[in-house]
Structure 1
Amino acid sequence: MTIAFQADTSLAVIAYTEGQTREITRVTLEQHVCAMIRWLESLGIQPGDRVLLFAPNSIEWVVVALATLRSNAIIVPVDTQMSRDDLTHVLKDSAPTIICVSEETLGELPFQPDCQWLKIETIETKLSDYVDTNHTRASHAPADEQLAALFYTSGTTGAPKGVPLTHGNLRSNVNALLEENIAKASDRVLLPLPLHHVYPFSIGLLTVLAAGATMVLPRSLVGPRIAEALRDSNASILLGVPRLYEVIWARLEARITKQRPWAAKIFHGLLNTCIQTNARFGWHPGRWLFRPIMKRLAPGLRLAVSGGAALAPELGARLNALGWTIATGYGLTETSPILTLNAPGEGKLNTAGRPLSNVELRIVDGEVQARGPNVFNGYWNDPVPRESIIDDKGWFKTGDAGEIGEDGYLRLGGRLSATIVLPGGENIDPERIERALSAHPMIREAGVLDNNGQLVAILVPEPDTTDGPDPLDAAADTIIQTLPSHHQVRQFARSPDPLPRTRLGKLRRHKLTALYQTLSHQNNNTLNQAPIQPEEMAPEDRALLADPAANATWTLLTERFHDHRLTPDSRLSRDLGLDSLSWVDLGISISERAGVELADDAIARVETVRDLLSECINAEQASEQAPADGKRSALSAALANPERLLEPRDLRALAPRGPLRHAGAGAALLGCQLINFLFARIEVEGALPKGGPFLIAPRHVSAYDPIALTAALSRQELEPVFWAGLSGLLFKGPVQRTFSYVARVLPIDPGAAPRRSLALAAACLQRGHSLIWFPEGQRGQEDGVLQPLRPGIGRLLAAHPVPVVPVWIEGAQNVLPIGSVIPRRGHIRIIIGAPITADDYGNDERGIVSAVANAITAIKTP
């Protein structure tokens, strides 16, 4: 397949990589391709040799692929997430002459064939040795019959089969798509799909470059990186698969409605009105109505193309109503790949589209058959005899059921190979049952199969589904009753993990039988309590782990929750038991492992492990780099200028007291003194040092502790002091908020807003005020024992190394026990220790926490 590049400076590829955005013009790309051709020739590459590409998308991947095509060699693109068994088969079956790998994929190879090796990371530098500025063009175009590429099917029914495509196959499909005039030279086409599949390779690479448009490669194939590339590149066309659009829709719906029933009702009402208006009159009010929302997501997007699998018509209608134009296509790897097209604006999304100009279709015994220059000529090494799939007149049996309407549009009915034939002779389309089951709000996925002559199903529940199988079975039974009697599913198995799928979301049906047998012999309440393995995850979740920050976070979670059934759907609160204070510990660990800091608003959005991984990816690019010694986190560095992290309303809490507030503080102090007189005999040892500011770190045993501390400090000592108080306790009502404002209590929320809380405390110290900070974060339950200190004090002191005054309190738990609201008479002992300085505790965050804990414990006496 030859692509002629204009010798100009227009952009050919924009690639987002770690730390930079790379751009390559068409003339530079042409020079690199020609240099790569010379390099391959120097390595002895011959026509027909296989060059296997086992690496993530990159500019170098594109260069190697185009150079291989022009060299009359055969490119073999391989999925970087392919299982070891399948990869072993592909390496042996394709017998490559050259293997091109990346640093991260080299270790994934089950064995290393005896051939030549290239590392993708070295290509850009190495090409300079082969640049010839006097010769920038390949000397001849490959013939149509010459093999160009060997794609391996995703193995939905067994071991991957090699699909050899010729230059004529690829060229005919590209030319037919160019006739549709879908992409223009001014377009930027975002490709969030791996190039090892023929759909993104042919459409996203070959067709885009042939049209003169710009190809955009996101940093990785995960939601946050795709959103980043959509915004930053101003992409006008998005080339995706249905599962990507399902995720986009779910995120949009959640963001707009924010799980508020009234907001959801309004949104869906407006959306349905737009859908009906579009269907009846052809108008698009959603393009105006939802424009502000869609502009934030993808400011320049005009067209969303879906392929690789069938897009649900309902989802297409929703996205169309939101303002995007939707185009879909149907085809197979064996057909290079497109057979039919729902072109932009045609809007028949309940069909697979009309045939391309050079494609013929017919229906034989209910099966779709195709003929044309884009159809391959048989599988590599003949795992399936050619005569069983292509007749003597060139008609290829697609294996898909369908019919062609009077309008010429193809309507598909599912894979014939997936049809289940019951003992009574009934033909069952499992996809019909699966669609019906998956439409229920309690069921995320369903896989239907034949088990000893009976229809059974594997159900994957939505995360919110009540524990236990009964509600799920009841929901499934309700759905099944709406189907014909011979479609009745007799038994259900419940799976906590996603069903096995290909990278493009197709169900691997050949794996369902073994999975069902395993599940049916287990009690669904006592399934394996260990984290899910990455290869068991859904394709989009495996793609998340390709990002270093997400992978490091997942590894951390598997270590911390090694005895839980940890999956991307696991709820951090309900399933893993994380409370608000645990977020601080987890945040510290994520910072150290993944090098990212989660913002307060990000934490508020996180419900599942998948949410957390996505937010870590979002935060990765924005986070500041920690110093090389690793002793201070990025947040500690940011806290050096804390007021930059705060809103003006936050700083009002630090404003000087006016006369009214000063009088209120005096009255509050008198009230505390009266309470102490009535209920507590307080013994104080030691005194607060002169000067300041200090961080006063008391042991915390009772809600009475702050009242008792007022007896340990004079009026003059209390005047410049601020208190750190939990916002959920001291700011939840107007009375509490007023008292806290008067008493100089800073609202601290370590769970939902750790950055804001620490920034407020840091600003207090930076302004020269002393701060009383209870470092345990919660009241102790055991007498005489200091609870583990929360890591926030380490971050705070790493940023502002003021002296720390340790304070031991005992007896307050007897005056006001946990759960009581009225004090009772008792004895309280307060010991104020000698301050420790930065010379004592250093600047290592964990070391600071340990030093403060030791200082508090050291002043305890029997």
Structure 2
Amino acid sequence: MTTQTIPELLSASPVDLDRPAIVELTRDAVQTVSRGEVLDLAGRLSAGLVAAGLERGDRIAIIAPNGVRWVVSALGVIRAGGVLVPLDTQMPDEDLAHALVDAAPRWLFTTSALAERLPQREALADVRRYRFDAPDDESDAWSQLLAADPGPSLAQAGDLATIFYTSGTTGPPKGVPLTHGNLTSNIEALCAEGMADGKDRVLVPLPFHHVYPFTVGILVPLSLGATIVVPFSLVGPQIVRALHDGEASIMLGVPRLFEAIWTALAGRVAERGRVPAALFRGLLALSIAARARLGWRLGRRLFASLHQRLGSSLRLMVSGGAALDPTLGRRLQGLGWEVATGYGLSETSPILTLNRPDRIRLESAGLPLANVELRIAEAEGPGEVLARGPNVFGGYWQLPEKTAKVLDEQGWFRTGDVGRLDADGYLHLQGRASAMIVLSGGENVDPERVEKVLGAADEIREAGVLAHGDRLAAVIVPEDRVIRETDGTAALRERVGQVMRDAARALPSHHRPGVLRVALDPLPRTRLGKLRRHKLEALFARLASEDLDQATMAAPIAIQDMSPEDQQLLSDPAAEGAWRYLAERFSDRRLTPDTSLALDLDIDSLGWVDLTLALRDRAGIELEDAAIARVETVRDLLREASASASVDSAGEDLITALADPERILNPEQQAWLAPRGAIRTLAARLLLGLSRLTTRSLIRLEVRGRIPAAGPYLVAPRHLSSLDPVMLAQVVTARQLDSIYWAGWTGILFANPVSRWFSRVAQVLPIDPGAAPRASLALGAACLERGFSLVWFPEGRRSEDGSLQAFRPGVGLLLRAHPVPVVPVWIDGTREAMPPGRWFPRPGRVRIVIGDPIPVDELGGDEREIVRLIEKRVAALGAE
């Protein structure tokens, strides 16, 4: 291998410049950029930066989401001889400020949204900032830096290429400088392994600011001539979409991502019932056994439908950043994918060892790369892993004392990981040396082992273990349902403590925590899921002086305090918009991604209509009825928001969709609007006569005003009792009833065959605003579009105390899509005659006041104004 610069390595690759280099998914489209375009843009940016005054060694920071411009900027900066400083978009404010001041960049590339959260420090006042998303004619537009023609590469092999800031598991982030030689040596060694070639398409659902996706996800594919697939955002639905639409053959990931994929898959299977779940488990066990004992790879055939759904091109899953659980690895293999794992650190550019699919040993970290030397510090038994090679960095940025602790004169780097090498050269890791807890009795405790056992308990979401004095302590985050089910702080601590003690019985006695602190929010972790132990100690100390009172619980969690996965979920603009709305609406509630919409936020079936409308207005998204049925928690809602089409990009909002409602309805739903036929019409007449005979013998009805003879129109009555529609039917003729449909809740009027038959005869439409708000509104809209009249109770439910409730927005949406006159109706006395729980009316008096129809020309404005107008008219009738 020869030492060369990154631009030299890329230009030496004999790849057709017309080949796709990057496939980037936007919210609703797929954009492809050729290799020639990427290299041309990088060359033009390089020339522009030099013309703007960039000198070799100047630092340029990037804090932006993944995208084509991120990749182009990285290549352009490095080509110009500059030093790239990639920064995490979700880095805590204090860490971000530290990294920017420490690196002292002259330029900074970002986006409009992220520019708002950049720290305002005097030391950063002279940093020139350019926005990727600024209009081309603005002075700070990134495109302003592009020269007319590419410039030559000014980089040299010994030059610094990048400074990566570590995630800070034990303190503030440290700068890790890597030279061109460091990076190219690792790239060449990885390419030589032959796991991929130029025909592959590599999905990178990881933030580019980390050295693992930067090297393995960007530079290696570009060196091979492979295509990089960039999802719209780094969340589950968009990753699945990128797999399928991007035709990815390789997916990079970290263990927590693959765990999430398996958990979601297992959950979907469990939902299908016991028999399908048992069949799935049996086929998976068969596939795993056949591979282990016979070398047969049956997974792609046994689970063909799964591969078709996720992407039939996907063949290889590559896991890095942390150790992959061997059991999970075998499951992925059993499902039909090949698996590769790697081990390394930012300081090693990053890969030290590789577990290739053809010789993988999942219990190990793999074999050293060809140009990497490994040895164990201790002569006998496990010890600290030492590494040496051209990929090992030369020392931390401006931290000579810390550098001296990890690098010796012979170039050996102390990784901080404890491990051993087996007879075949495979590395087996046993934890971080710096995280090991040594008790006074001499016992060594691996906290990760304890955390894994405690975290496996059903009622524990996660656990962090640390030393407290001479005792082992744990910070436990219980599952959200445990918090919900437990009354009071003392009871919560007792319950969690018992669960912890029960789980710890599987551990040796000196591994069992004796001190407990309960936390409500996720433990502090890096973007790759590693526990930030110095922050765990600070959290433990804070929990010792705080109580889990209602003040702590009654507020939305801060985004920076969420788990890395949830922070990543909120990197999606639609998901972030949905969260911002929820946090504003429920500012006085405990709101986390695990919050139940029904149990914790009281969002019932009718509340879904309000919520979906607000999400449309505030976040610009439309949730389909099928998506709503899948939502239980806030996290579910955010995922569906991420997967949904935006109002703007879809070119159609709900109002527009309701203008052509038949398109929303399936044939079964449309059948409710079909003519009744002679037999059902006769049955309707008989039922009407029977109801009138019954009610007239019991109820004294007083009516003022009348329903118009000709429609279509919408009747908007007050709602007190199940008797309301029966009494309304008394004030219209049989002929009028033939052209009137009634909105009825599916939970009562469609619960069994008899009630469904009655609803069909009485022309009652199935309305379920919780599970199917779009279809429910579309039924009402289709009724009006076909020229029928509609009775729609705007309150949505019976009043519990007899007062007029706020009208729901559904009626406003219907009338915006299909304007018709509105007949306001006031009803009273039905609640006394037939209160909730009673199935037959008792003698009483009912008064119905029918107002003058509200003409269409008075229904101007948006749906809220329409709703307020109707509510005002109905209330006025009650005051007469």
The two structures share one fold, judged by TM-score above 0.5: yes
1:114 is aligned to 2:126? yes
Residues 281 and 463 of structure 1: CA distance in aligned 2, closer, same or farther (over 3 Å): farther
Matches within 5 A, 1:186-205: 186-205=199-218
> How far apart, CA to CA, are the structure 2 residues paired with 1:234 and 1:166?
33
**Cα pair distance change 1:623/1:38, threshold 3 Å:** closer
Inter-partner Cα distance in structure 1 for 2:75 and 2:151: 12
Choose from 802, 805, 810 the match for 1:787.
805
Q: Distance in 1 between matches of 2:145 and 2:589?
A: 52
1:363 aligns with 2:376: yes
Question: Counterpart in 2 of 1:65?
Answer: 74
Matches within 5 A, 1:477-496: 477-496=501-520
Aligned with residue 779 of structure 2, among 733, 738, 760:
760
Task: Point out the more displaced range, 488-497 or 565-574.
Answer: 488-497
Provide the residue aligned with 1:547 in structure 2.
572
- 2:184 is aligned, of 156, 171, 174, to 171
Give distance in 2, aligned partners of 1:384 and 1:331: 22
CA distance in 2, matches of 1:679, 1:279: 78
Matches within 5 A, 1:423-434: 423-434=440-451
| Secondary structure of 2:777's aligned partner | helix
1:558-637 alignment to 2 at 5 Å?
Answer: 558-621=583-646, 634-637=653-656
Q: Residue 280 of structure 1 corresponds to which residue in structure 2? A: 293
Which one of 337, 344, 367 corresponds to residue 324 of structure 1? 337
Match of 1:436 in 2: 453
Distance (whole Å) between structure 2 residues aligned to residue 711 and residue 490 of structure 1? 73
1:647 matched residue in structure 2: 666
Q: Is the 8 A contact 2:109 2:132 kept in 1?
A: yes
In 2, are the aligned partners of 1:35 and 1:127 still within 8 Å (CA)? no
**1:183 CA displacement:** 1.7
Is contact 1:161–1:383 with CA below 8 Å preserved after alignment? no
Find the aligned partners of 1:256 and 1:409 in 2 and give their Cα distance: 36
Q: Which residue of 2 aligns with 1:37?
A: 46
Question: Structure 1 residues 514-523 or 577-586, which shifts more?
Answer: 514-523
Counterpart residue number, 2:722: 703
- Cα displacement (A) at 1:595: 1.4
User: What is the Cα deviation at residue 583 of structure 1?
Assistant: 1.2
Q: Does 1:842 align with 2:860?
A: yes
SS in 2 for 1:401: strand
**RMSD across aligned positions (CA):** 1.9
Segments of structure 2 that go 5 or more residues without pairing to the other structure are: 1-5, 487-491
The Cα offsets for residues 138-187 of structure 1, whole Å up to 9 and x where unpaired, read as: 356x4332211111111110011111111111011000000111221111
Q: 1:513 aligns with which of 526, 531, 537?
A: 537
Q: Quick one: distance in 2 between partners of 1:105 and 1:860?
A: 53
Name the CA distance, whole Å, in 2 between partners of 1:303 and 1:622: 36
Structure-1 separation of matches of 2:657 and 2:439: 66
Is the contact made by 1:451 and 1:513 (CA closer than 8 Å) also made in structure 2?
no
Task: Sort the Cα spacing of 1:837 and 1:284 in 2 relative to 1 into closer, same or farther, 3 A.
Answer: farther
Q: For residue 94 of structure 1, what is the amino acid of its counterpart? A: A
Distance 1:414 1:374, change over 3 A: same
Once the 2 structures are TM-superposed, how far is the Cα of residue 259 of structure 1 from its aligned partner? Answer: 6.9
Farther off after superposition, 384-393 or 607-616:
384-393
**For residue 3 of structure 2, what is the aligned residue in structure 1?**
none
User: Which region of structure 1 is more displaced relative to structure 2, 282-291 or 743-752?
Assistant: 282-291
| Residue 383 to residue 492, structure 1, CA distance change in 2 (3 Å) | farther
CA contact (8 A) 1:683 1:829 kept: yes
Deviations 1:209-242 (A, max 9, x none): 0010011111122222222211211111111111
Pair 128,152 (structure 1): closer, same or farther in 2 beyond 3 Å: closer
2:829 to 811, 818, 824: 811
Deviation, structure 1 residue 317: 1.6
Q: Report the alpha carbon displacement of residue 22 of structure 1 after superposing the two structures with TM.
A: 2.8
- Report Cα offsets for 1:492-512 as digits up to 9, x if no partner: 222221111111111101011
Supply the distance in 1 between the matched residues of 2:609 and 2:656 (Cα, whole angstroms): 17
**What amino acid is aligned across from residue 493 of structure 1 in structure 2?**
R
Give the distance between the partners of 1:42 and 1:684, measured in 2 at CA: 85
Q: C-alpha offsets along residues 602-661 of structure 1, whole Å, 9 cap, x if unaligned?
A: 1111111111111111113477667xxxxxx91111000000001011111111121211
Question: For structure 1, which runs of at least 5 residues remain unmatched after alignment?
Answer: 627-632
**Alignment correspondent of 2:323:** 310
2:394 to 363, 367, 377: 377
Q: Normalised by the size of structure 1, how large is the TM-score?
A: 0.96
CA contact (8 A) 1:195 1:201 kept: yes
* Distance change in 2, residues 1:702/1:139 (3 Å): closer
1:813-850: CA deviation from partner (whole Å, max 9, x where unpaired): 11101121232111111111111122112141101111
1:49 maps to 2:58:
yes
Task: Assess if the C-alpha contact under 8 Å between 1:339 and 1:356 holds in 2.
Answer: yes
Corresponding residue of 2:427: 410
Q: Structure 1 residues 669-678 or 360-369, which shifts more? A: 669-678
Partner of 1:733: 752
1:664-693 CA-to-partner distances (Å, cap 9, x unmatched) read: 111211221122123211112111113211
What letter is aligned with 2:199? Answer: S
Contact 1:378 1:386 in 2 (8 A): yes
Aligned residues of 1:595 and 1:625 also touching (Cα < 8 A):
no
The residue number in structure 2 matching 1:629 is: none
Alignment partner of 1:340: what SS?
strand
Instruction: Measure, in 2, the Cα distance between the counterparts of 1:782 and 1:475.
Output: 43
Does 2:757 align with 1:745?
no
Which residue in the other structure is 1:770 paired with? 789
Aligned counterparts, 1:12-411, within 5 A: 12-18=21-27, 20-111=29-120, 112-121=124-133, 126=143, 130-132=147-149, 138=152, 142-258=155-271, 260-365=273-378, 366-382=383-399, 384-411=401-428
How far off its partner does 1:20 sit? 4.3
Distance verdict in 2 for CA 1:102–1:510, change over 3 Å: same
Deviates more, 1:514-523 or 1:832-841: 514-523
Task: Give the SS at the match of 2:644.
Answer: helix
Distance across 2 between alignment mates of 1:14 and 1:173: 24
Which secondary structure state, in structure 1, belongs to the residue aligned with residue 605 of structure 2?
coil
Percent of matched pairs sharing the same residue: 49
The letter of the residue matching 1:775 is P
CA distance in 1, matches of 2:626, 2:476: 34
SS, match of residue 638 in structure 2: helix
Q: From the superposition, tell whether residues 270 and 172 of structure 1 become closer, same or farther in structure 2 (CA, over 3 Å).
A: same
Q: Distance in 2 between matches of 1:684 and 1:298?
A: 64
Counterpart for residue 826 of structure 1: 844
Superimposed CA distance per residue, residues 393-416 of structure 1 (whole angstroms, 9 cap, x where no aligned partner): 211110001111122211111111
- The equivalent of 2:878 in structure 1 is 860
- 1:90-122 per-position Cα deviation (integer Å, ceiling 9, x unaligned): 122112122222212212211234133332235
1:461 equivalent in alignment to 2:478:
yes
- TM-superposed CA distance for 1:445, in Å, is 1.0
Partner amino acid, structure 1, of 2:78: L
Q: Report if aligned partners of 2:517, 2:543 keep a CA contact under 8 Å in 1.
A: yes
**Are the counterparts in 2 of residues 326 and 345 from structure 1 also a CA contact under 8 Å?**
no
Q: Is the 8 A contact 1:55 1:102 kept in 2?
A: yes
Distance 2:566 2:388 in 1: 37
Distance 1:767 1:102 in 2: 49
Give the deviation of 1:58 after TM superposition.
1.8
Q: Distance in 1 between matches of 2:50 and 2:809?
A: 59
User: CA distance change for structure 1 residues 28 and 127 in 2, over 3 Å: closer, same or farther?
Assistant: farther
CA distance in 1 between partners of 2:274 and 2:458 (Å): 15
Contact kept? 2:132, 2:143, Cα under 8 Å: no
